Amino acid sequence: MERAWAQNSGLGWRGKHSLLIQKNKGSFFFLAELILDIKLEYDHPFKTDHCGTCTKCIDACPTEAILPNNSINGSKCISYFTIELKGEISNSLKGKFEDWMFGCDICQDVCPWNRFSTPHSEERFNPHPDLLEMTKNDWEEITETVFKKVFKKSAVKRAKFSGLTRNISFIK
């Protein structure tokens, strides 16, 4: 709902990849909301879709999860498979995940509006230092102890150790 609320409050428009886009920032940002019991002056909804005829995100999606109506078929999205799916990933998807073992940002990486994005300055968003030193071999032989240490305060815990190791095996 955050995307719809953000668009209705005038913060941007929903791109074909379904994410909110701001002209001067792209789509690489977090949305949050405050629920208040005070009256505020309303902003005007953002009504213009500045994606136009661009289909870069649709064309780049290796699993064809992005639909032409600015929505995602969640059952085809790499993020769904690598974060939410609890079972096995279908072999029919082998080779389509590139190196994505948790989530996916392909649609954002190709979005022309993201040329305006800027790196964050929030220290708490930085990866664990050990994570940056991991080699391909370290990933393939990751232990639950390393997983718990490196991803202690990370969203990667959503996939659990078993999910992450499943994902790593799947993309090998």
Per-residue model confidence as pLDDT tens digits over 108-134 = 999 999 999 999 999 988 999 999 999
Q: Look over the chain and give the mean of its residue pLDDT values, rounded to a whole number.
A: 93
Q: Distances from the Cα of 91 to the Cαs of 88, 160, 171, in angstroms?
A: 9, 21, 11
pLDDT at 161 over 90: yes
- Terminal alpha carbon distance of the chain: 35
Please indicate whether residue 64 or residue 35 has the higher confidence score (pLDDT).
Answer: 64
Task: State the Cα–Cα distance between residues 38 and 162, nearest whole angstrom.
Answer: 45
Q: Using DSSP, how many helices (H) and how many strands (E) does the chain show?
A: 8, 4
Residue 8, C-beta contacts closer than 8 angstroms, at least 6 positions apart: 45, 46
Distance CA 57, CA 20 (A): 13
12 vs 41, higher pLDDT: 12
Which pLDDT value is given to residue 48?
Answer: 87
pLDDT in tens, 14-44: 999 999 999 999 999 999 888 899 998 888 9
**Rounded to an integer, what distance in angstroms lies between the CA atom of residue 58 and that of residue 95?**
18
Q: Considering just the CA atoms, what is the radius of gyration of the chain in Å?
A: 18
46 has a pLDDT exceeding 90:
no
Torsion-angle region of 26 (φ positive above 0: left; ψ -120 to 50: alpha; else: beta): left
Q: Is residue 164 within 8 Å of 148, Cβ to Cβ?
A: no
